[in-house]
Amino acid sequence: MSQHLNQHFHKAFQSISELQENLPPDVMLKFYAYYKQATQGDNFYLKGKSDIRDAFKFNAWTQLNGMSQEEAKQKYIDLAKDILNTNFND
């Protein structure tokens, strides 16, 4: 796995985590799904009790079934770039 990809992914994750503005729910679901796929792969699970919000998150993640962790990281980075209008190449 590319060290640069991992560095860019972690920078993108940190930047999105620190973002002060509220993003639309569909965008947040994409970030969640890409993050889970990038870090957990196809190892889908729900913890404990599930509410409607958890069901939407789980559904968004399972829709990425079969996507490689590297591709999910790149998609997370690309979405973060679009939202933040920045580049994570430094």
Which pLDDT does position 78 carry in this prediction? Answer: 97
What does the domain layout of the chain look like in residue ranges?
3-84
pTM of the model: 0.88
Which pLDDT does position 46 carry in this prediction? Answer: 77
Which pLDDT does position 1 carry in this prediction? Answer: 55
CATH architecture of the domain covering 3-84: Up-down Bundle (1.20)
How many other CB atoms are there within 10 angstroms of residue 82's CB atom?
Answer: 10
1-60 tens-digit pLDDT = 589 999 999 999 999 999 999 999 999 999 999 999 999 999 988 777 778 888 899 999
